[in-house]
Amino acid sequence: MLTAITFLPLAVAAAVLLLSRSAADRLFVWIWIVTATVDLALVVVVWTVFDPGGGVAFEQAVAWIPQAGVGYHVGVDGLSLPLVAVTCVLFLAVAVYSLRETRRVRSYVAVFLFLQTVCIGVFVALDLILFFLFFDLAIVAMFFVIAGWGHGRRARAAALKFFLYTFTGSLALLLGFIGLALAAQPHTFDIVALTDANPVAGRDGYAALVLLAIGVGLAIKTPTVPVHTWLPPAHTDAPAAGSAILAGVLLKMGTYGFVRIAMPILPGAWRRYAIVLVVVGVISVIYGGLVALAQTDFKRMIAYTSVNHLGYVVLAVGAAGTLAGSDGQARQLAVTGAVTQMVSHGLLTGALFLLAGVLYARRRRYDMSAFSGLAAKTPLFAGVTAVAAFGSLGIPGLSGFIAEFQILTGSLATQPVATGIALLGILITAALLVWALQRVFLGPLRIPDAPGAAAAFPDLHPSELVAIVALLALALAIGVAPRFLLDVIEPASRTLVDLVAR
């Protein structure tokens, strides 16, 4: 089942490449939409059948390179299933949004379908090498998205920086994986087996080195301060659809790696160095917020808020590793909040990046100072952006609140100082998002001219509207009735907290 969900887009991508180049652009996008819908429907089926208390489900294990301890092993549990679902939702939204794409649509659709396969693959993989394979291929696919459909010449430099930076991270990860596999007897890369074995227990120095390699690799991907510098240019110069996927899905691979690999397999080292994660998380929260505040470029600003939002996740997983002065319930709350934040950030930031794309599609620029008073001209655009921005700053009623509330409550017991500082981050993001809304949408109407663009500044097109509203509706659903999501996550985070505490 999971194999079908994972590889369906890849199969369709191959089929798309066999189709004639001269077929209508819309046909390709519709093929993509249908594929993404089918994939999402399959995930919904998995979700309904899934038993949250039953641990890893839908497992499938086939020997692949047995001599090296590598297998094809997939499965989902409460930590990965929500991320698989949000991946499928985002790809469907991006597909609908892309109905207006006109540049080399056949290759565009093929690359995105390929990207969907590898993104789902990362979250269902239960083998370190399989995880690494998808992790790496996601970088390759995203490189082509940015270089091929990004904005102008700068895009290629941004793509190169993105590739080199995140590839460095992935190779650090690989070293750590090899270190883990060699510590286990027999050598294996299987995540479930390694989790059971706790292979580096009692070897403190070795465990620290392995955690360092894995931690650096994942931190670059997340990204946290100080290894976040690839993110702003990559986002600014990527096409809107690419940005939405990059922020919504690819960044989660880093934080997901923490809860899937680093915490359960290296519990001892994780507990010992949890404070480092807490500090890095808090710095990311504050620094990301402050730098976002200073941006004049709408898209760059959202990119920096990602650093801020994922900082909360890092804070939470760090707090979950601090045993002293906390009970299991608080730590569990922190982990649940972290996973919820990944889902919520995927939906809301995905929506915000698509909205930034709306701006770019009309005027080929993102600088907020050029626009003013758009609310009068484009009420829909203004309204939807306002909802997304308020959701992003954590207003109750949307998913961001549920996530951040749990993270802060869960972390407060063990890390009161850090949590107190992180609370300030919410204030900063609130200020900057409201300020941005005010600059762009309120005040006297001012729309810059753009060479080569139509003079009209139309409101949201139906395809844009459907794509973005769907994401926001889901965020609202989680904000109002979160149980359907939390019921899935909570048993898994309880298991994880127990694993870390052993």
473 is an interface residue for another protein by CB under 8 A: no
Q: How far is the CB of 70 from another protein (least distance, A)?
A: 8
Q: How far is the CB of 248 from another protein (least distance, A)?
A: 23
Residues ≥6 apart with Cβ < 8 Å to 78: 52, 339, 488, 489, 490, 491, 492, 493
Spatial contact of 405 and 486, defined as CB atoms under 8 Å apart: no
Q: What angle do CA 404, 405, 407 make, to 5 degrees?
A: 60
Using the minimum distance from each CB to another protein, give the nearer residue, 139 or 413.
139
Using the minimum distance from each CB to another protein, give the nearer residue, 164 or 481.
164
What is the pattern of x (binds another protein, CB under 8 A) and - over residues 184-203? ---x----------------
Q: How far is the CB of 239 from another protein (least distance, A)?
A: 15
Of 407, 413, 412, 409, the residue nearest 325 (C-alpha): 413
178 is an interface residue for another protein by CB under 8 A: yes
Using the minimum distance from each CB to another protein, give the nearer residue, 148 or 328.
148
Using the minimum distance from each CB to another protein, give the nearer residue, 68 or 427.
68
Q: How far is the CB of 16 from another protein (least distance, A)?
A: 13
140 is an interface residue for another protein by CB under 8 A: yes
Of 260, 251, 245, the residue nearest 78 (C-alpha): 260
Spatial contact of 437 and 381, defined as CB atoms under 8 Å apart: no
113 is an interface residue for another protein by CB under 8 A: no
Q: Which stretch binds another protein (CB under 8 A): 25-33, 144-152, 437-445, 479-487?
A: 144-152
- Rg value, the chain, Cα: 21
Look at the chain and count its residues: 502
Rounded Cα–Cα distance for residues 75 and 1 (Å): 9
Question: What are the residues facing 65 on neighbouring strands?
Answer: 70
Rounded Cα–Cα distance for residues 193 and 126 (Å): 9
216 is an interface residue for another protein by CB under 8 A: no
**One residue of 108, 112, 132, 287 binding another protein per CB under 8 A:** 132
Q: How far is the CB of 132 from another protein (least distance, A)?
A: 6
68 is an interface residue for another protein by CB under 8 A: yes
Q: How far is the CB of 458 from another protein (least distance, A)?
A: 30
Rounded Cα–Cα distance for residues 72 and 63 (Å): 6
Using the minimum distance from each CB to another protein, give the nearer residue, 99 or 183.
183
In the chain, DSSP finds a helix count (H) and a strand count (E) of 22, 2
Of 1, 5, 3, 29, the residue nearest 16 (C-alpha): 29
Q: Which stretch binds another protein (CB under 8 A): 58-66, 90-98, 350-358, 453-461?
A: 58-66
Q: Which stretch binds another protein (CB under 8 A): 34-42, 177-185, 407-415, 432-440?
A: 177-185
Count of residues that interact with another protein, criterion CB under 8 A: 31
66 is an interface residue for another protein by CB under 8 A: yes
67 is an interface residue for another protein by CB under 8 A: yes
Rounded Cα–Cα distance for residues 411 and 322 (Å): 9
Query: Roughly what angle, to the nearest 10 degrees, separates helices 81-97 and 328-363?
Result: 10
212 is an interface residue for another protein by CB under 8 A: no
Within positions 265 to 324, which residues make up the interface with another protein, using CB under 8 A?
none
Using the minimum distance from each CB to another protein, give the nearer residue, 211 or 286.
211
Q: How far is the CB of 38 from another protein (least distance, A)?
A: 25
Using the minimum distance from each CB to another protein, give the nearer residue, 44 or 164.
164
Q: How many other C-beta atoms can be found within 10 angstroms of the C-beta atom of residue 49?
A: 10
Using the minimum distance from each CB to another protein, give the nearer residue, 48 or 67.
67
Residue 209, CB-side half-sphere exposure with 13 Å CA sphere: 9
**One residue of 3, 42, 47, 156 binding another protein per CB under 8 A:** 156
Give the max Cα distance, the chain: 70
Using the minimum distance from each CB to another protein, give the nearer residue, 209 or 476.
209
Q: How far is the CB of 173 from another protein (least distance, A)?
A: 10
Rounded Cα–Cα distance for residues 113 and 477 (Å): 27
Rounded Cα–Cα distance for residues 453 and 440 (Å): 19
Rounded Cα–Cα distance for residues 429 and 305 (Å): 7
Rounded Cα–Cα distance for residues 245 and 234 (Å): 12
Report the interface residues with another protein, using CB under 8 A.
Answer: 63-68, 70, 129, 132-133, 136-137, 140, 144, 147-148, 156, 160, 163-164, 167-168, 171-172, 174-175, 178-179, 181-182, 187
